[in-house]
Chains A and B, each alone.
Chain A
Amino acid sequence: MYQFSGKLKILSIVLIIIGALGIGFSFFSAPKTVQESKEMIAAKASHGDAHGSEHATANNHDAHHDAAHDEHVFHQMQNKPWSALYVSLIFFLGISLLVLAFYAAQRVAQSGWSVVLFRVMEAITANLVPTSIIMLLVILSASVLHWNHLFSWMAEGTFDPTSEKYDAIVDGKSWWMNTTGWTIRGIIYLVLWNVYRFFIRKNSIAEDTANDGNKTYKKNYHASVIFLVIFMLTESMMSWDWIMGLDPHWFSTLFGWYVLASLLVSALTVIAFVTIYLRSKGALPSVNDSHIHDLAKFMFGFSVFWTYLWFSQFMLIWYADIPEETTYFVARFNEYKLPFLSMVVMNFVFPILLLINSDFKSIPWFVVMGGIVILAGHYVDFYIMIMPATVGDQWSFGIPELSSLLFFLGIFIYTVFSAFAKANPIPTGNPFLQESEHFHYFNIEHRGESSDNHHH
């Protein structure tokens, strides 16, 4: 059995505390009034920040416009700590969810190679519980408590034709985009995912000692089939509700898949990281270089898949250039040029050049190096999905964003490794275990791993 080391535990708690303090600080330092936000912009401008001065000069047209602009900027700055939290939350929640979905897919595919990694994947899905709880709190604070302006359509008067803030376009979508439905749907997604996770974790451990002619195994198989269907539906709707809903005037049909691809490649990278770490600690004796190689192959493949969907979405909108769709990318290309372009390099060019070589894919430090860039790239991806809609040109990467990342990383380390320590690291009752232990990719032989057990 694996022992969750004291050092790692302390590290995770330190990360959580530092993160929580940083998050608290960012909420505290966000402007409370329009006046305060104006002063902050002015202070930034006086430091020679081209960004702020541009605003100061460009908006001297008339008093009314000025006031409206000030309030707009004020809301953006108020949204900053919320958005910083939200990006990291969606990122970690989504990764845990996609590890769960990948795990379910491995069960349904009855794949032979990945069985020795099942406990790693199960342990990672333990992070779904705390992130779901925090997500629930964020959902409620946005919709019921109105503590933030992340979702512009939740503002009062949006659906009221007599109001100054009436938005006919959003009103036309109110059969889907209404606070009550949105809140209930969000809770349903979270409950469905957690129910499957709870069930499969319990029954996967039960499988170890079941000895019932694979009855438990088959039950887990059927549960995973049902989950995958539910997952595909809820994942699409989740991405409309939680991410596309931030830009209520914009829509894209492949958005759900795009979010899926981004989270899936991150999830595989995280599986590879946790596997490589645990293997280096001797906790996964039956994992060999071939398993790492297969994970890296998935990282490579889904990096390309992400790029395919990202480009398909971008190119179709760029090509037709219909104003109502193009604004989405205009905002991102004008105000987020550096992260927008570097994301493509980090998520596509780098992994494709690094992980295309079969030999490199089985060298752990190479996989880790590629993985760090992939994870950073996909964080930026979610940053660019969320931030332009909530903070606009007021974006930056500082204490709020970093502390949210650390906070969720701490929770991740704590939940994942304590969950891994709670069960047998080898799923002994799985009928494909032996195949997985002997899994061997043909050209890794020359790196010291014999394939002699392969033929007989």
Chain B
Amino acid sequence: MSSSKVIHAFYNDDEVLLDAVKTVKAAHHHIEEVFCPFPVHGLDKAMGLAPTRIAITAFMYGITGLSVAIWMTNYMMIQDWPQDIGGKPSFSWFENMPAFVPIMFELTVFFAAHLMVITFYMRSKIWPFRKAENPDPRTTDDHFLMEIPVHNNEEELTALLAKTGAVEINVVEKH
């Protein structure tokens, strides 16, 4: 991108913001980012964001956890040292399987939950001591902010955004 200028349009109502997003999309402008103090239902759809695939990763992590549990119980209890513990049949994994189900279940959930959360952190680039990227502190409290890159069309964009009910429009240099 040659230009590093962006427009920050502020809104103070999520319904107004949603309509504004639709208007800007209808005028074929790219919306770089929208900052909200809380989740706005339907915003992702209005912006045309692709659906998340995090549930699919969780499913695969769950299968991984299940496999780990099966391998672990089989190796420890059946292969490595098949003792007679209270008469439990340790001749084969299937014979003693009911006793392993609680750990299989828990490890499935453990892997699915934790790895999914870590995936979320990585994909969202969230970690301790990460520098907050708030363009304006009001967006964490009561304002919504739409960021649109400017390509020599500052006037046109400002006029469009003014019509959408923005309470404040700033053109800022992004570094």
Interface residue ranges, A against B (CB under 8 Å): 311, 314-315, 318-319, 321, 356, 358, 442-443, 445-446, 451, 454-456
Contacts and interface: CB of A to CB of B under 8 A. Distances in A.
A174 B99 CA distance: 36
Interface residues of B, number: 12
12 contacts: A314-B98, A315-B98, A315-B99, A319-B98, A321-B87, A356-B59, A358-B55, A445-B45, A455-B15, A455-B18, A455-B41, A455-B42
Contacts of B98: 311, 314-315, 318-319
A108 to B, nearest CB: 27
Given A311-B101, A315-B101, 5 more contacts: A314-B98, A319-B99, A358-B55, A442-B41, A455-B18
Interface string B28-49: 0000000000000110010000
B51 interface: yes
A454 B51 CA distance: 19
B92 to A, nearest CB: 15
A456 B87 contact: no
A446 B51 CA distance: 10
Contact of A456 (B15, B41, B59): B15
Given A321-B87, A356-B59, A451 B99 contact: no
What secondary structure prevails in chain A residues at the interface with B?
helix
Contacts of A443: 51
A454 B101 contact: no
Interface string B49-83: 00100010001000000000000000000000000
Interface of B: 15, 18, 41-42, 45, 51, 55, 59, 87, 98-99, 101
5 cross-chain pairs, A with B, having the tightest CB-CB distances, nearest first: A315-B98, A318-B98, A445-B45, A455-B42, A455-B15
Contacts of A454: 41-42
Nearest to B88: A319
Contacts of A358: 55
Nearest to B55: A358
Contacts of B42: 442, 451, 454-455
Contacts of A445: 45
A334 to B, nearest CB: 15
A342 B87 CA distance: 27
A311 to B, nearest CB: 7
Contacts of A319: 98-99
A319 B55 CA distance: 35
Contacts of A442: 41-42
Contacts of A446: 51
Nearest to A316: B98
Nearest to A358: B55
A355 to B, nearest CB: 13
A329 B83 CA distance: 25
B18 to A, nearest CB: 6
Contacts of A455: 15, 18, 41-42
Nearest to B99: A319
Nearest to B51: A443
Nearest to A308: B105
Given A315-B101, A321-B87, A451 B45 contact: yes
A367 to B, nearest CB: 19
A315 B102 CA distance: 10
A356 B62 CA distance: 13
Contacts of A311: 98, 101
B146 to A, nearest CB: 17
A249 B139 CA distance: 68
Contacts of B87: 321
Contacts of B59: 356
A364 B35 CA distance: 38
A314 B15 CA distance: 53
A343 B87 CA distance: 28
A358 B59 CA distance: 13
